[in-house]
Amino acid sequence: MKAESLPSYERIDSTAERMDTPYDEWVSSQGIDVIKGYFAENLYTLPLKWWERMGGYGVFINLQGTGYLDDAYVCAIPPGESLKPQRHLFEELVYVLEGRGATTVWQGNGARQSFEWQAGSLFAMPLNASYQHFNGQGDREARLLGVTNAPLVFNLFHCEDFVMNNPYLFSDRFKGEEGYFAGRGRLYNDRVLETNFVPDAIGIQPIAWHERGKGNRTIFFELAQSTMGAHVSEFPVGIYKKAHRHGPGAHVMILTGQGYSFMWPEGKERMRINWGPGSIIVPPEEWFHQHFNSGNQPARYLALKMLSRRYKLAPGKIKSDVPLNQGGWQIEYEDEDPEIRRIFEESCAQSGATVMMPKR
């Protein structure tokens, strides 16, 4: 029997094996810079480039710990101007870094509604609703931080037109109802506030969460029925939080205070990151991380992440405050490396802060 000839194939260069993801290709088409690594030192002073799609100035922040679940960007609105209208199939949390302005939101051909924001405001854009941001000040820029799950969505569908121009209306999440962004909400017993708009994340009062460490206070946010979530955490002068680990994608932005964080994969050397207002870090998946207030005022951070407590991506209890010896993800003070306490005491002494940690 005559052997069947094999079809011929075009030979391609080995670099094809190293092609970027569909999300990376989309990012590279946007014409702005991309910050990588483990942290960004100060979002308030990052240099920005003109971003045609947005109609403002921007930069992507794609840090090592995102796991391609989510990303971040900073976008500035010029004085007295507005960004271009947007709509997309990826979810987005928005924190106002600087400025004062308003956002208009609408669903399809429905009525438009607007809400005002200021520095410190936090909100989420309803999925695939149309929206537009306006700078309400004529003498200074407004600067926004966005955290989205665009990497997950682009890599799943790898079709920009589908992601950015899809006509489907998620009316189960947003019907254009008046007062959607009025700041009303429902507070649950486990420190979870369900709302669509937080007027002031810097001034809001968190609730005691001593399981994370002495003096810790935290409040979680469920926003716009998103699969993304956020929380604000505060800890007093001379205090540090217990080390813990979790999945990827938690963008931890410092709101107030001075201090540092340790991050490390189990059994490996610790990485130290010094921070102040505007710093942002993303601990990689399964890396332990620990936050230290070594300054002379309370420290507060905002975490923006792929973790909703209402719309979970995986079942089961979140174990970030359960001790390791009980099957959880947290290292108790008595089980940590003694060198951690020594370094903290030394750092507090340098800033004149009094150590308030419980004795061993």
pLDDT tens sequence across 258-281: 999 999 999 999 999 999 999 999
- The candidate with the shortest Cα–Cα distance to 247, out of 40, 37, 66, is 66
Tell me if 144 sits within 8 A of 75, measured CB to CB: yes
Looking at per-residue pLDDT, the higher value among 10 and 89 belongs to 89
List 174's β-bridge partners, or say none.
none
Residue 12 has pLDDT above 70, yes or no: no
Same domain as 90, residue 119? yes
Q: Is residue 40 part of a domain?
A: yes
Structure pTM? 0.93
Separation CA 262–CA 283 (nearest Å): 9
Residue 38: which domain range? 22-164
Which sign, positive or negative, has the C-alpha torsion 319, 277, 210, 204?
Answer: negative
Q: How confident is the model at residue 318 (pLDDT cuts 50, 70, 90)?
A: confident
The pLDDT of residue 243? 96
Same domain as 225, residue 94? no
Same domain as 223, residue 136? no
DSSP labels, 131-179? EEEEE--SSS-EEEEEEE-HHHHHHHH--HHHHHS-----TTT----TT
The pLDDT of residue 13? 56
Residue 18 has pLDDT above 60, yes or no: no
The pLDDT of residue 128? 97
Q: How confident is the model at residue 114 (pLDDT cuts 50, 70, 90)?
A: very high
Same domain as 128, residue 62? yes
Question: For the chain, where are the alpha helices, taking DSSP H only?
Answer: 22-28, 150-157, 160-164, 338-351
Of the CA atoms within 13 Å of residue 231, those in its CB half-sphere come to: 18
Choose the final residue of a domain: 130, 164, 198.
164
Residue 3 has pLDDT above 80, yes or no: no
pLDDT tens sequence across 148-189: 999 999 999 999 999 999 999 999 999 988 899 998 889 998
Tell me if 72 sits within 8 A of 146, measured CB to CB: yes
HEC-encoded secondary structure of 224-273: CCCCCEEEEEEECCCCECCCECCCCCCEEEEEECCEEEEEECCCCCCEEE
What's the number of domains the chain is made of? 2
Q: Is residue 322 part of a domain?
A: yes
pLDDT tens sequence across 31-63: 999 999 999 999 999 999 999 999 999 999 999
8-state DSSP, 104: E
The pLDDT of residue 40? 97
- The candidate with the shortest Cα–Cα distance to 294, out of 275, 271, 266, 270, is 275
